[in-house]
A and B are shown apart, each in its own frame.
Chain A
Amino acid sequence: MVDPAALCKWLEQTVVGARVRESLWLFPIIETVHLLGMAAFLATVVALDLRLLGWALRGQRISVLSGRLAPWIWGGFCVQVVTGGLLFSSEAVKVYANPAFRLKMLLIFLAGLHALIFHWTTNRGIANWDDNSAPPTSAKLAGGVSILLWLGVVAAGRFIGFV
């Protein structure tokens, strides 16, 4: 078992970690891309969640909407993992111990798990309510929980610098 603290220390000392930490412009540039990635990811995830809630895009077939948004959701998520990883590498030891960062990681894990469970359960029966303007309660609940979890991720991330 690898010691996470030792791993963080190693990560900070890599060329990448050092460059991001010490460069004048790289850090704010990566932060900018992280914000743009968040915009793309959150906008598309929330659009799908609002459709599941039956609060928006009610004329759209859910499976079609989710298929069209998927590249943006996954693309946005990948941008976040890469840019977030770079920012993390620059101050890994400090950030690893930060309670807001830990909460953010926990919420990302829960949001991912929640999406998987939705995919395996409620989403199995989608053929019955694909074009319903108001999907069943379980689907609505999934949309609402997903929105709350991802907003929590944003808020926890913003608090890393303050706690």
Chain B
Amino acid sequence: MTFPQGGSERWREETALRLLAGTRQRAAANEAVGILQVWHACAREQARDDLDVTGTTAGREVEARRIIAVIDAAATGRADPDARWD
């Protein structure tokens, strides 16, 4: 029942930035899993395995970014008559 020291402002800021980066990476990985679910017509678990082809965190991140970039490049959302985000 002991606690680490609160640390300096700089330590807190660095921790917050690490947390933010980690959260973004996690979101990107999950978005890529969703895309793979559609591409491979598979369940979420299978898509997770498919994303993790390199078996490393860095590899997973790169693959996720690549998959998202493919969709982004082909996105035709602004022509979608049902979307009203403009």
- A and B are partners in one complex rather than unrelated chains: no
Q: Name A's B-contacting residues (CB within 8 A).
A: none
